[in-house]
Structure 1
């Protein structure tokens, strides 16, 4: 086990901070505020900017041709963030969820540039397993064979792209699974990877390092946990906010970690409410992998 002292990335507090994303070409770090309906960015000089969007925005990915792919309430949008603070937005693929009041949640590209994103019923108290995992590629957007999710999260991909990780962070589930992922982009051989009922917190957003270590945010516990490819916990980093949401590697050498957090409706005993919703920087003691840009938006 090891610990690191986190620092604040900037003076921003999100309602639901999610989807940190590093752009290595521009040296920009993005993230979103789902309920705040905004995209945030910090540049190499530490300057912060934000852009409003019209819907809840669950996850973003880089586009190969520039701009961002965004998973929003009514579908996947192509975004261009303008210097004047406005957003050029075009619906690329609409989505028809099976129930009202659903949205996209956690999303990430795999090593081949396909975009994967989970859906969920917004009211977590309903514990409704209507969520599913979707895949977007040159053929468009479609549900995968993975459904029955209450709060899909924890997407990550092994360095060779052959293993996909997925969690369900709902309090009644708290599991992380691994799947074999072939060239055809079909997940197979689902198996248990981490039973988070044996660890503190709920398995929220995740990242994979260059050695194949799987880092998972332990929501409600203020921790980021690293598991080896065989599922053994070997490291944990503390964050001074309980509701850690998602982590990502960033920086010129991909040797720093950013962690977004959530601001709860009411303060949590034992935690500083002034830090809830902040974005933190940690030293993970390893290097990460760059995200592959999405290649099919056009």
Structure 2
């Protein structure tokens, strides 16, 4: 088995780094510092970092077209003009609930967007997972404490998600044409007796699910049947979410966070909040574009 080489992609320290997504057209990785309302953008080859102030908590980004992006924020889905950075509210999600914010979200291969929410103070059962497709919004799952691990098989027939507080990574059949779940969810991985918590995930072309383990200082890879294939040690304790990057989508970027750590704990975890690059042969793929209308 090939050895994974882990390096620092960006030494910009995020309190809560999350939601990485790679744009192959510009060779840039986008990610967020959720609690500080920042969108970060860094060229993979160039290494040039841009910091965009959003003015509100945001957690996920998707490409609409060459001129527009869709961003999940604490008030809903906003269209972002790439040239100016201007945000325009497209579809409100829990905008009347100041206690919640967006969290882990990802685009289904058909162009639907699964958007997770949670309480800003992680209050039990305050969040949900919603489905957005061509302007239509539906709530799929309610009473979610910390929505995470939303990702899909390449053919769109399987969706994964978790409520991190449960320790259970779930799997559900999906309609590939709409991205809507079909039937009941089943446990894919029971992580309750392992170190750390299931955070963000992404699925490669081989159906392997790559999961960032919050508090476990690791990224784990699972086969399509839920077998643990490998565990990669990470430099920071709280890995939060992976994304495929590079011209061939054959590398992994992983965000992290220092949120919840006091000064003493941060000194023991000096790279917490940085974003890392894992060089490992991985059969990744680019994120689909989101269909907003």
Q: Normalising TM by the smaller chain, what interval?
A: over 0.9
* Deviation at residue 97 of structure 1 after TM alignment: 5.9
Q: Which residue of 1 aligns with 2:37?
A: 37
Gaps of 5+ in 1: none
TM-score (normalised: structure 2): 0.93
Q: Is the 8 A contact 2:146 2:164 kept in 1?
A: yes
Q: Which residue of 2 aligns with 1:140?
A: 136
Gaps of 5+ in 2: none
- Cα deviations across residues 194-227 of structure 1 (Å, max 9, x unaligned)? 1111322100001111100011111001100000
* Deviation at residue 58 of structure 1 after TM alignment: 1.6
Aligned length: 289
Q: Is the 8 A contact 1:98 1:130 kept in 2?
A: no
Q: Which residue of 1 aligns with 2:174?
A: 181
- Cα deviations across residues 108-157 of structure 1 (Å, max 9, x unaligned)? 10101111111111112x3x11211111111332312x222110100110
- Cα deviations across residues 146-204 of structure 1 (Å, max 9, x unaligned)? 2221101001101211000001112xx11100000013432122101011113221000
| Correspondence 1:1-298 to 2 at 5 A | 3-43=3-43, 44-82=45-83, 87-96=85-94, 99-124=97-122, 126=123, 128-144=124-140, 146-170=141-165, 173-182=166-175, 183-188=177-182, 189-264=184-259, 265-267=261-263, 272-296=268-292
Of 182-191 and 1-10, more deviation after overlay is shown by 1-10
Q: Is the 8 A contact 1:241 1:271 kept in 2?
A: no
Q: Is the 8 A contact 1:105 1:117 kept in 2?
A: yes
CA distance in 2 between partners of 1:222 and 1:198 (Å): 16
CA distance in 1 between partners of 2:116 and 2:9 (Å): 27
Going from structure 1 to structure 2, the CA distance change for 1:93 and 1:199 (only over 3 Å counts) comes to same
TM-score (normalised: structure 1): 0.91
Going from structure 1 to structure 2, the CA distance change for 1:277 and 1:179 (only over 3 Å counts) comes to same
CA distance in 2 between partners of 1:2 and 1:177 (Å): 28
CA distance in 1 between partners of 2:264 and 2:206 (Å): 35
SS at match of 1:275: coil
Q: Supply the RMSD in Å over aligned alpha carbons.
A: 1.9
CA distance in 1 between partners of 2:209 and 2:153 (Å): 8
- Cα deviations across residues 70-116 of structure 1 (Å, max 9, x unaligned)? 1111111011244xxx6211000112368541011001101011111
CA distance in 2 between partners of 1:18 and 1:260 (Å): 6
Going from structure 1 to structure 2, the CA distance change for 1:232 and 1:268 (only over 3 Å counts) comes to farther
* Deviation at residue 269 of structure 1 after TM alignment: 5.1
Q: Is the 8 A contact 1:240 1:271 kept in 2?
A: no
Q: Is the 8 A contact 2:74 2:100 kept in 1?
A: yes
CA distance in 2 between partners of 1:229 and 1:187 (Å): 18
